[in-house]
């Protein structure tokens, strides 16, 4: 007995099911590829950065580290990873982090400031409020007026480095919990690994240079 020829409706339904299956299969393959890629990236060592710490920045790192009782090489590593020692332009990330140390405005001013949760950290406060120490204090932010010019400016390197030291110290670095502090600065295990890699690289090179002298 000959099989009945499928109707147009049946063919259409079959094609829809086939398309859905292929779409699901494609998503599965893509997801698997991303998992493999992320695992590879997690196990990959950051590429060595051959440039020395710029000499003009060392005193700023050291002063901030002394003020907040943390390792100054940690600050150098953050500066290196975030903006390659302020050589990346423009220093504004895709999510709105700004300045040489890439602060989210709301972390700098304080998350109770206007519009912070709703904007994911960019906020809707004014540029004047962003750098106003009184506003920052009122909202519990991490911005610091390190150069005592009346402004805590995330675009000014000295202010930004001291603000980073303030953040890291407050989140565990001054108590030896550097990994915890770094993770809170940027919620990524890879980021933590990169920062500690460069921190150790800079420290070893610096100590070797001191010993040679």
pLDDT digits (tens, 9 = 90+) for 66-94: 999 999 999 999 999 999 999 999 999 99
Model pLDDT, residue 32: 57
DSSP states of 108-133: HH-TTSTTHHHHTT--S--HHHHT-H
Short-list 106, 85, 107, CA closest to 157: 85
Q: Round to whole Å and give the CA distance between 45 and 34.
A: 18
pLDDT digits (tens, 9 = 90+) for 104-136: 999 999 999 999 999 999 999 999 999 999 999
Model pLDDT, residue 17: 63
Short-list 170, 207, 192, CA closest to 77: 192
Options 1.10.10, 2.40.420, 1.10.530, 2.30.38; CATH for 55-212 is 1.10.530
Residue 54 has pLDDT above 70, yes or no: yes
Task: List the chain domain ranges.
Answer: 15-44, 55-212
């Amino acid at each position: 007995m000959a099989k009945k020829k499928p109707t147009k409706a049946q063919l259409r339904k079959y094609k829809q099911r086939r398309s859905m299956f292929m779409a699901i299969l494609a998503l599965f393959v893509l997801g698997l590829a991303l998992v493999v890629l992320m695992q590879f990236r997690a196990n990959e060592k950051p590429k060595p950065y051959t440039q020395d710490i710029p000499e003009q920045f060392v005193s700023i790192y050291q002063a901030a580290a002394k003020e907040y009782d943390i390792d100054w090489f940690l600050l150098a590593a953050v500066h290196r990873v975030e903006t390659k020692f302020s050589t990346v332009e423009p220093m504004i990330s895709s999510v709105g982090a700004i300045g040489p140390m890439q602060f989210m405005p709301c972390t700098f001013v304080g998350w109770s400031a206007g519009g912070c949760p709703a904007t994911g950290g960019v906020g809707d406060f004014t540029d004047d409020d962003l750098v106003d120490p009184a506003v920052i204090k009122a909202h519990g932010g991490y911005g610091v007026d390190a150069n005592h010019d009346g402004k805590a400016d995330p675009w000014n390197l000295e202010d930004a480095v001291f603000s980073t030291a303030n953040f890291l110290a407050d989140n565990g670095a001054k108590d030896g919990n550097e990994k915890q502090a770094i993770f809170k600065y940027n919620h990524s295990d890879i980021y933590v690994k990169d920062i500690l890699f460069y921190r150790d690289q800079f420290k070893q090179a610096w100590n070797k240079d001191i010993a040679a002298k």
